[in-house]
A and B are shown apart, each in its own frame.
Chain A
Amino acid sequence: MAAVQGGLVDASEEKDIKTEPSSDGCGNNDTNDARPLSTSPGSNAPGGNAKTSSGSTEEQQTLLAVLQFLKKNNLTESVEILRREAGLPEDSLDLKGSDSSGASSGGSAGGVDGVGVDASALLSRVTVSSSAGVQAPMKTSGEDQPDVNVVLSAYSQQGDPALYETYYSGLKRFIETVLDCHRAELSQVFYPLFVHMYLELVYNNHENEAKSFFEKFSGDQECYYEEDLRVLSSLTKKEHMRGNETLLDFRTSKFVLRISRDSYQLLKRHLQERQNNQIWNIIQEHLYIDIFDGMPRSKSQIDAMSGSLAGEAKRDANKSKVYYGLLKEPEIELPLDDEDEEAENEEGKPKKKKPKKDSMGSKSKKQDPNAPSQTRIPLPELKDSDKLDKIMYMKEATKRIRLGPETLPSICFYSFLNAYQGLTAVDLTDDSSLIAGGFADSTVRVWCVTPKKLRKVKSAADLNLIDKESDDVLERIMDEKTASESKILYGHSGPVYGISFSPDRNYLLSSSEDGTVRLWSLQTFTCLVGYKGHNYPVWDTQFSPHGYYFVSGGHDRVARLWATDHYQPLRMFAGHLADITCTRFHPNSNYVATGSSDRTIRLWDVLTGNCVRIFTGHKGPIHALAFSPNGKFLASGATDGRVLLWDIGHGLMIGELKGHTDTIYALRFSRDGEILASGSMDNTVRLWDSMKAFDDLETDDFTAATGHIHLQDNSQELLLGTYMSKSTPVIHLHFTRRNLLLAAGAYNP
């Protein structure tokens, strides 16, 4: 594989010289394949920092290679389609082909000489050198699992296995002796280096060396990598590497490190002086070093951001603009003044709405500059019932209690009794009238928590009999005989892990181990659709705040965006390196946040399907996400028991809330965003002063530009209350429209 890159890079080098660490070193190395140890680090570009980005050029080259391959096999149609998709000009194929051949034959020193010079020849080299099947060049496509052999082939280069320990400890000694300010930064290199060296040893069948290498150095690694190390430790044979997902993650993605320029220069000089090729190669090939100018970061700054499976997010990954503002509420005329008394008297009676005014410009509230345009993604039109619900919402909102450190919310706890550890998911409707539970026995149960009972709609035959003109037709279609406090929905064939009510309370979504997401009607209490797409367990699903759309994510690492009336997903969000454990919609429905077992959170643009934010810093799989009501902030909770707060607009971590001692399964902001409630496996509900957390934020330009946030350790000040439940893990939290906190969990005696 390295050969591919090397060759292609060489070909393109003349055209654009990037100012980033180069991968041409490896290209050169590959030419020296026969020799056990390349002596070529000196052949790095003189400037020392010439590098092709793994970005567009390389991608284009690969595309061209694919095109060539297709052409060679006379698959003209495919060529045509791919070319159109990739947006390459008609003649690009030939042009580029000759271009690159010209370049390589003319320019590169030892890279591709002696080998065929056109792209198809390059291609054949790929297949040869990778000792893999024909499908080798498929590597670039995101979702297709790259062939293991191709991926692993990079390890084929031989070094003396006995020297690995020497190399590693040599580097360790060096880093331990550098100036303090650089040490923390350079220490980041240890973990990825350790992993790759270990894997190299394993791949080359040096089992014993690998074991002793692991034993010697695994203790040095940061404790938050413990879980990955455990996976690694069990992996001692080349055969095991095949099909091991964790391993593939290490290989397919470059581990991203952020290092200041000074520190990087230091490291580089050291490695070059010592002719320490082995390590240099690994750094070149498997690490992406994001160099920034300025002060090196401190240990605590680094620790705050590291911990994910693939290092930190690249800085440019979080640069794109995110429209985090809220959509303008639809105009619904509401007599606010005298509604209080009336509401008391006429509750239940649908209120007469005043005719909607055409007041597009008259509204005093200006469009938020950070908000996406109203029609950025098509949203469903409001039905009359939705409008009524909005009115109810506004009425309730006027009675809302303003929370704060002085006025904490009351917490009402819904315990599921006799659940025998089988409760896996809970959701409440926005108006807090219905509660649903997903269970390990594949059932979904819906309870009504108001005195009103749940009723089904009558059967079709009975519906024919009723008077459709009558005023209370909505009442008449309900079958009184079926009234009960709870209903059970059967249909899944595995534990139900995710559950979500639609905003209009007519539908319920459930996702299950059986790989399906099901849509249930809460009118008939039957299953309407089974959405198949995920072939593996679906860990979470959620309706968009505006209904119609929903998102699901699961073991297959791909989050999917669906619309209820399409049986196929509208968008696939691929990028996570491990299971997607939780999914949340942004309040404006334009973005989706996903948390994953790879310990990162990603924010996806629903419109384009792009990943617009990557947040790293958690040290364990993420199990809870919550957007603040104003859409500006995101809170996340993980198995490490910490809640992290993120500023979406700047793409920064802005707070850390420590206190929980076990996995956090539930997070929720109060309706006004003053209080953040978190619920955990440790049987507690904790309340945090989110206002203070956001206000304390130091947002000077420097932090915003570099993303090097200095976190204060003020969890104790922000913690407003801890409430123990009696052996009841808290798995769902919900603020009612009046800011009463509802919590739910199963009592485990």
Chain B
Amino acid sequence: MAEERRQKQCSVVLPTESMKAMAESVGVGQLQEDSCVALSEEVSYRIKEIAQDALKFMHHGKRRKLTTSDVDNALKLKNVEPLYGFQSQEFIPFRFASGGGRELHFYEEKEVDLSDIINTPLPRVPLDVSLKAHWLSIEGMQPAIPENPPPATKEQQKSESTEPLKVVKPGQEEEGTIQNKTQGTTATDGKGKEKGMIRLKPRSTHELSVEQQLYYKEITEACVGSCEAKRAVCLFYGDSEGVRVNVVQNNLALLIYLMRMVKALMDNPTLYLEKYLHELIPAVVTCIVSKQLCLRPDVDNHWALRDFAARLMAQSCKTFSTTTNNIQSRITKTFTKSWLDDKTQWTTRYGCIAGLAELGPDVIKTLILPRLSVEGARIKAVMEGPVVSNIDKIGADHVQSLLLKHCASVIAKIRPQPDNVEQYRSDYGYLGPMLCSHVMKARTQAALQAQQVNRTTLTITQPRPTLSVSQSGLSGSSGPRTPSIIKVPSSLTLMSPRPGTPSQPSPPATKYIVMATSAGAASTQQVITLSSSQTASPVTSTVPSASSTLQPLVKLESGSGTGLTGSRPLQKYIVVSLPSSASSSLENKSSVLPTSISSTQLEAGMKLDRSESPGASTQSPH
């Protein structure tokens, strides 16, 4: 240490040759050796002095890099005229030359032709300073958003940045996060996007190594190629490269493959897609709502693609929506907006409804059901009116069947038993009678099979085991269903910089599912502890709640239990909090909410929603 330091501090002096060279450059030919020595010592000392002062300016400028302006300021401090002409922000292009036994570093100043300057077009005006806010931390947790650095440890980053596959650029070490080789490129990819987002000059294009390019090619070829076996393999590996859906080509098959690829990505438990959602989601949404997805919309079954993509969307909402990114509410908003637009085409309309319907019964109840009559009238106009075009008709037909399919099960649950066709007509308009028959069918079906949401899958079976114990435990109160998506729009205000309420574990990898409804003005809360290793009978106790903060209400532990849960390797806790009056209706709930809606409540509500919709069950996240 001392040794090292001493070396650093041993006074370094400019060589006398420099003095000679400089003297010559100003026309002093013969400089005595002694004078050179004296000069170089003096000059070295002064330079050091100025450098030390310049460092002060650097520190106060909150920079790590010493700039020419710092030196100028230091000179001004000493009442010396600053050096003009060195304005480079990044570096000063010193050039090296040698010859005649001399080595020289010099600053090349080219002669510039004024007319050239005048004639060249003006450079673009640099972007102005702007201010952007994001959450660095929410109640102690750092959200995984593009604005924040990836949550990788320093060591990891270091080992990865030294990995030979990756081209490391100076200053990039801190940012590169890479889970594995395949993600290496996605990380840089994400970074490129980040840069684009803040609109900096696209200074660096990210180079992919040859291997990575080959890999990319293989993967994409396999995904969109013709060999099914190969495709299966690469879907299994899952890779987000190439998720750039090119809808313009209208290649339906290709789009389906790509959607399957997204699906594969989402099902891959080793990937953390949070940071790349901003690339994935637009692609998926496009596949749901695009006006045209195939060359022959009247013949091709693009509806299936929309269905599939909608399910995909619902799945990603479930997995990734948090209070910070608000995916679900944003998606819901998007869908609702384009659905409500009169000019929307039937294809898009279908996509919107499918997208909404997949988000779960609550969404259907609050957003779709009220519009059934309006939609019915529109369908009627197409079906029974003068035939405008075959495509419209097909579209309307599909929308109709879609609505019937999704709404029937929901209506079956919320409407009292006697199904009267006339009443249905008055309630739901044109679609009423058809709904009525569907509902009745649904009821009989429900009677047969306890609770199964009918769904058509494209090709892939849902690899999610369902756990019906939670349903049976909860359906008695039907509580968890009540918090509905209607709260979501109001959640947008949560983004305003206001402190939220208590923390809760919500990061991606947790195995907790926290369900909650508004605690609202509830003065007491129920705590139901329910252990599945026994029976499904809930142990209910009532505790007074000190404040309006949420208390865990239902705690369900499935131990190494029997029957229903035996197949699941992991122990799970489901924490559900309910309002004191579990049966309180949605209306009076939402009247309680607006003033004191908190992020926790909301998030919980949304999570609940998620965990409910596919078969009303908790699932083991892969």
Contacts and interface: CB of A to CB of B under 8 A. Distances in A.
A417 B129 contact: yes
B134 interface: yes
Nearest to B324: A410
B124 interface: no
Chain B interface size, as a band, is 35 or more
B127 interface: yes
A219 B73 contact: no
Contact of B131 (A415, A494, A663): A415
A411 B5 contact: no
Interface in B52-82: 52, 56-57, 59-65, 67, 69, 73, 76-77
B415 interface: no
A639 B497 contact: no
Contact of B137 (A223, A229, A494, A723): A723
A413 B134 contact: yes
B463 interface: no
Contacts of B9: 214, 218, 229-230, 233
B175 interface: yes
Interface string B87-127: 00100000000000000000000000000000000000011
B595 A344 contact: yes
A407 B139 contact: yes
A681 B127 CA distance: 24
A408 B60 contact: no
Contact of B48 (A234, A495, A683): A234
B161 to A, nearest CB: 14
B447 interface: no
A408 B497 CA distance: 15
Contacts of A439: 129
A749 B195 contact: yes
Interface in A206-226: 211, 214-215, 218-220, 223, 226
Nearest to B63: A421
Given A407-B502, A445-B129, A747-B198, A537 B77 contact: yes
Interface stretch (A257-265, A349-357, A737-745): A737-745
A685 interface: yes
Nearest to A432: B497
Interface in A395-432: 401, 406-424, 432
B211 interface: no
A681 B62 contact: yes
B503 interface: yes
Interface stretch (B140-148, B261-269, B399-407): B140-148
A639 B135 contact: no
B69 to A, nearest CB: 7
A642 interface: no
Contact of B136 (A234, A412, A420, A729): A412
Contacts of A423: 62, 129
A237 B63 contact: no
Nearest to A749: B200
A740 B136 contact: no
A462 to B, nearest CB: 28
B149 interface: yes
Given A219-B5, A237-B45, A597-B56, A418 B126 contact: yes
A412 B134 contact: yes
A513 interface: yes
Contacts of A599: none
A234 B131 contact: no
Nearest to A401: B499
Contacts of B128: 418
A420 B137 CA distance: 25
B388 interface: no
Nearest to A742: B497
B12 to A, nearest CB: 9
B1 A223 contact: yes
Interface in B372-418: none
B45 A240 contact: yes
A234 B44 contact: yes
Contacts of B300: none
A710 to B, nearest CB: 26
Given A220-B2, A421-B63, A413 B499 contact: no
Given A236-B11, A623-B59, A738-B498, A537 B137 contact: no
A603 interface: no
B501 to A, nearest CB: 8
Contacts of B131: 414-417, 435, 447, 449, 486
A726 interface: yes
B34 interface: no
A665 B59 CA distance: 10
Contact of A413 (B63, B147, B198, B200): B147
A235 interface: yes
Interface in A701-742: 720-721, 723-727, 729, 731, 736, 738-740, 742
A678 to B, nearest CB: 14
B503 A407 contact: yes
Interface in B20-73: 41-42, 44-45, 48-49, 52, 56-57, 59-65, 67, 69, 73
B341 interface: no
B148 A724 contact: yes
Interface in A88-121: none
A725 to B, nearest CB: 6
A646 B69 CA distance: 36
A663 B136 CA distance: 20
Nearest to A440: B61
Contact of B6 (A215, A414, A681): A215
A560 interface: no
B133 interface: yes
A408 B77 contact: no
A231 interface: yes
A726 B149 contact: yes
A746 B56 CA distance: 19
B130 A417 contact: yes
B15 interface: no
B140 A418 contact: no
B129 A211 contact: no
A312 interface: no
Given A231-B52, A407-B502, A421-B63, A449 B41 contact: no
A223 B6 CA distance: 11
A112 to B, nearest CB: 40
B77 to A, nearest CB: 6
A725 B500 CA distance: 21
A214 B502 CA distance: 60
A449 B10 contact: no
A510 to B, nearest CB: 13
Given A233-B9, A418-B130, A494 B73 contact: yes
B132 interface: yes
Nearest to B46: A240
A740 B499 contact: yes
- For the complex of A and B, the 3 pairs showing the least CB-CB separation, nearest first, are A219-B2, A408-B140, A411-B136
28 contacts: A223-B5, A230-B52, A234-B48, A234-B49, A237-B41, A407-B139, A409-B137, A410-B137, A412-B135, A412-B497, A413-B134, A414-B131, A417-B129, A417-B200, A418-B128, A418-B129, A422-B129, A449-B497, A495-B73, A513-B76, A683-B174, A685-B137, A723-B142, A724-B148, A726-B148, A731-B62, A739-B499, A743-B136
Interface of B: 1-3, 5-6, 8-11, 41-42, 44-45, 48-49, 52, 56-57, 59-65, 67, 69, 73, 76-77, 89, 126-140, 142, 147-149, 171, 174-175, 194-195, 198-200, 203, 497-500, 502-503, 595
Given A211-B11, A409-B499, A435-B131, 12 more contacts: A233-B9, A401-B499, A410-B135, A412-B135, A417-B129, A418-B128, A445-B129, A495-B57, A537-B57, A663-B59, A725-B136, A731-B62
